[in-house]
Amino acid sequence: MAITPLMPVYPRSPVRPVRGEGVYLYGEQGEKYLDFAAGIAVNILGHGHPHLTQAIQSQAAKLIHVSNLYGSPQGEALAQRLCDLTFADTVFFTNSGVEAVECAIKTARRYHFAKGNPDKHDLITFSNAFHGRTMATISATDQPKMIDGFAPLLPGFKVVPFDDLDAALAAIDEHTAGFLLEPVQGEGGIRPASQAFMTGLRAACDEHDLLLVLDEVQCGVARSGTLYAHEQYGITPDIMASAKGIGGGFPLGACFATEKAAAGMVIGTHGSTYGGNPLAMAAGQAVLDVVANEEFLGNVRQMGERLRAGLEQMIPNHDHLFDSVRGMGLMLGVKLKSDSRAFVNYLRTRGLLTVAAGDNVMRVLPPLNIDESHIREFIETLSAAAADYEVPAAAA
Ligand code: PLP
């Protein structure tokens, strides 16, 4: 039999982690890695954070799962806390990012349905977006590697160029329900939307009674230097998907909405067996205990600036390899002049973990509680690796 028991859908690297401690991961043979990938922006408190570990352990001993048919003191408490911290009036808990986006899409459609406009079901989405791997979320993107072989896709999505306000506005028609976008595209190559784009989409939503649906699965939960990235644009969404960092590594996602936008989400319209279970709620609370304060967020911004400055200073010394740096907070991308996947693979052999993204970008997504010593170690190792790296002939 040629197929592996683990369905072979990932190009898995030789890194085989079995233990983590702070910013470091350890492989089966004791190999040590500086983890500036953080499970693709998930482990925002690093590995084995004592407060998160303790919260999960003590809740696991008390109550792991109950049905959503019962009252949820744990869910109510976390939802209230998230509403107090954000634009939202209500939250639906999920187990992953893609489920949070699915809930966001359904909430947007139901809003117009509940208002008597069932034909307003289309979301305008953006090129190079990534919203997850369900049928709805792959239908919302134009990336062939996500959609090839999965036809027929779901109708109801119209993809236009990212950060092109004129194209987005021109796509509005009588079927439009709203816009769905990542304020900072992650898999697409760490591309922050421009201020004019975000402000323009918000204004168009207000003018035409459309919904602004943000996917902050990757850029949310302190990664950008504010609790959510949209705060830095001075706008609020109507609906937002959050996940990854929100559980610090425990599977947790959430769909946030204003009372108005959630008007259609009445009893029986949505559900999840596991979503909002007491164990996930304990993890979510523990993460917020650490990150939802100005001191932590200020440190993310400061470390983000230092890391960015370190990367920018390094570029002229390796300008055959690196092009530029982009991003927000500790969600940074280095654009390469050759294949970023090959370089990310090479860095692994030097004990550095980063993540490749579209547009030949190397994503730098460390835990958010790093200090200057980790940044120094990262930049020194990266510089030495860049000096030794031979760009593969085919990619040069
Ligand atoms: N949306 C964005 C912006 C993401 O980056 C991801 C995952 O990378 C998802 C949605 C899907 O999240 P998950 O893999 O948890 O389903």
Residue nearest to atom 12 of ligand 1 (CA): 97
The pTM for the full model equals: 0.98
**Ligand 1 centroid distance, CA of 155 (Å):** 21
Residue to substitute in 128, 215, 218 for testing ligand 1 pocket (most ligand atoms within 8 angstroms of CB): 218
Q: Where are the domains of the chain?
A: 17-48+317-388, 63-291
Contacts of 294 by beta carbon, 8 Å cutoff, 6+ apart: none
Distance from C-alpha of 227 to C-alpha of 371, rounded to nearest angstrom: 19
Q: Closest ligand 1 atom, CA of 182?
A: 3
Residue to substitute in 43, 105, 131 for testing ligand 1 pocket (most ligand atoms within 8 angstroms of CB): 131
**Ligand 1 centroid distance, CA of 244 (Å):** 7
CATH class label, 63-291? alpha beta
- Among all chains, which residue has been given the structure tokens 């790296």? 389
Indicate the length of the chain as a whole number: 396
Dihedral Cα 297, 303, 304, 308, nearest 10 deg:
170
**Ligand 1 centroid distance, CA of 18 (Å):** 24
**Ligand 1 centroid distance, CA of 62 (Å):** 30
Give the amino acid at 252: L
Q: What is the 3-state secondary structure (H, E, C) of 157-218?
A: EEEECCCCHHHHHHCCCCCEEEEEECCEECCCCCEECCHHHHHHHHHHHHHHCCEEEEECCC
| Contact indicator for 358, 340 with CB cutoff of 8 Å | no
| Contact indicator for 160, 154 with CB cutoff of 8 Å | no
Pick the CATH number of 17-48+317-388 from 3.40.50.970, 3.10.450.40, 3.40.50.2300, 3.90.1150.10: 3.90.1150.10
Residue nearest to atom 10 of ligand 1 (CA): 131
Q: Closest ligand 1 atom, CA of 253?
A: 15
Measured between alpha carbons, how far apart are the two ends of the chain, in Å? Answer: 38
24 CB-side CA count, 13 A: 11
**Ligand 1 centroid distance, CA of 129 (Å):** 10
3-class SS of residue 275: coil
| Contact indicator for 103, 255 with CB cutoff of 8 Å | yes
Closest listed residue to residue 183, CA positions, set 327, 305, 293: 327
pLDDT computed for residue 366 by the predictor: 98
Same fold, 17-48+317-388 and 63-291: no
Closest listed residue to residue 391, CA positions, set 343, 348, 354: 343
- The H-or-E segment that residue 332 falls in is strand 331-336
Q: Closest ligand 1 atom, CA of 98?
A: 16
Distance from C-alpha of 290 to C-alpha of 217, rounded to nearest angstrom: 19
- The H-or-E segment that residue 85 falls in is helix 73-85
| Contact indicator for 67, 276 with CB cutoff of 8 Å | no
**Ligand 1 centroid distance, CA of 323 (Å):** 26
Residue nearest to atom 9 of ligand 1 (CA): 132
234 CB-side CA count, 13 A: 7
Q: Which residues line ligand 1 (CB under 6 A)?
A: 40, 96-98, 101, 130-132, 182, 186-187, 215, 217-218, 243
Tokens coding 121:
């079901």
**Ligand 1 centroid distance, CA of 2 (Å):** 30
189 CB-side CA count, 13 A: 16
pLDDT computed for residue 396 by the predictor: 47
Distance from C-alpha of 201 to C-alpha of 348, rounded to nearest angstrom: 40
Closest listed residue to residue 240, CA positions, set 182, 297, 327: 182
Distance from C-alpha of 82 to C-alpha of 374, rounded to nearest angstrom: 30
Q: What's the burial of 170, exposed, middle or buried (CB within 10 Å: 0-12/13-18/19+)?
A: exposed
pLDDT < 50 stretches in the chain: 395-396
| Average pLDDT of the chain to the nearest whole number | 97
Tell me: the pLDDT tens digits for 286-336? 999 999 999 999 999 999 999 999 999 999 999 999 999 999 999 999 999
- Among all chains, which residue has been given the structure tokens 């760009």? 391
Residue nearest to atom 11 of ligand 1 (CA): 132
pLDDT computed for residue 393 by the predictor: 81
